Amino acid sequence: MVVTALFAAVLCVIAPLTIPLEPVPLSLATFAVYLMGAVLHPVQASAAIFVYILLGAVGAPVFSGFTGGVQKLLGLTGGFIFGYLPCAAITSVLSRRSGAWKGRYPLAMLCGTAALYLCGTAWFLAATGSSLKTALFACVVPFLPGDAVKIALASAAAPALKKRLESSAAQ
C-alpha cells in the first residue's frame, strides 16, 4: 500500500510539469505511468492512477499546468488522463509476462502508449468533432519523440527500481 501511495505521489508531483502545446500539453506524467506499469502489479498501478485522478477531480492541482477539477477531466485532455489507467495496466501485464527478455519493458510501454493514444484521441474526436487526421496531428504526432525518450528512460530505470522494491518487500 505504501509503494502504491508513493507512486501516486510521484505522479501528482511530476504530472503538472508541462510544455504548453495546444491543444494537448506535453507532460511528464507518462514517464511516471510507464515506471509504475513496469514495476508495480497491475492492481497497484491502477490504484495509484485512480488516486491521482480522484485528487485531480476534487480540485488538487495535479493535472498538467497545475490544474485540477472535474472540468479538466471532461475537457479535451480528459481522455489522456483516463487513458493512464489502461496504459499502466497493459504495461504491467506485458512486462510481467515476458520473462527475463530485456526488450519487455519498451515493448510493454509501447503497447500501453497505444492504448493511451487511443483513449486520448477518441475523447478528443468526440469533444471536438474534428477529423481523424486533425486529431492525430494534435494528439499523437507531436508526442511520439518525447514518448520515445520517456520509454527509453523508464525502460532503463525499471529493472533497478523493480529489484530495489522487491528486495525492500522481502525484508
Q: What is the CATH number of the domain that holds 47?
A: 1.10.1760.20
Residue 59 gets which letter from DSSP? Answer: T
Q: Reduced to 3 states, what is the DSSP secondary structure of residue 41?
A: coil
Which pLDDT does position 61 carry in this prediction? Answer: 98
State the Cα–Cα distance between residues 6 and 74, nearest whole angstrom: 26
Beta strands in the chain (DSSP E): 18-19, 26-27
Q: Is residue 61 within 8 Å of residue 68, measured between CB atoms?
A: yes
State the Cα–Cα distance between residues 148 and 126, nearest whole angstrom: 27
Domain that holds residue 132: 2-170
Which pLDDT does position 64 carry in this prediction? Answer: 92
User: Sign (positive/negative) of CA torsion 123, 119, 17, 136?
Assistant: negative
Which pLDDT does position 4 carry in this prediction? Answer: 95
Which pLDDT does position 24 carry in this prediction? Answer: 80
Which pLDDT does position 98 carry in this prediction? Answer: 64
Which pLDDT does position 81 carry in this prediction? Answer: 97
State the Cα–Cα distance between residues 23 and 1, nearest whole angstrom: 35
- Structural domain total, the chain: 1
State the Cα–Cα distance between residues 42 and 128, nearest whole angstrom: 32
pTM: 0.93
Which pLDDT does position 21 carry in this prediction? Answer: 77
Instruction: Write the pLDDT tens digit of every residue in 96-143.
Output: 876 678 899 999 999 999 999 999 999 999 999 999 999 999 999 999
Low-confidence ranges of the chain (pLDDT < 50): none
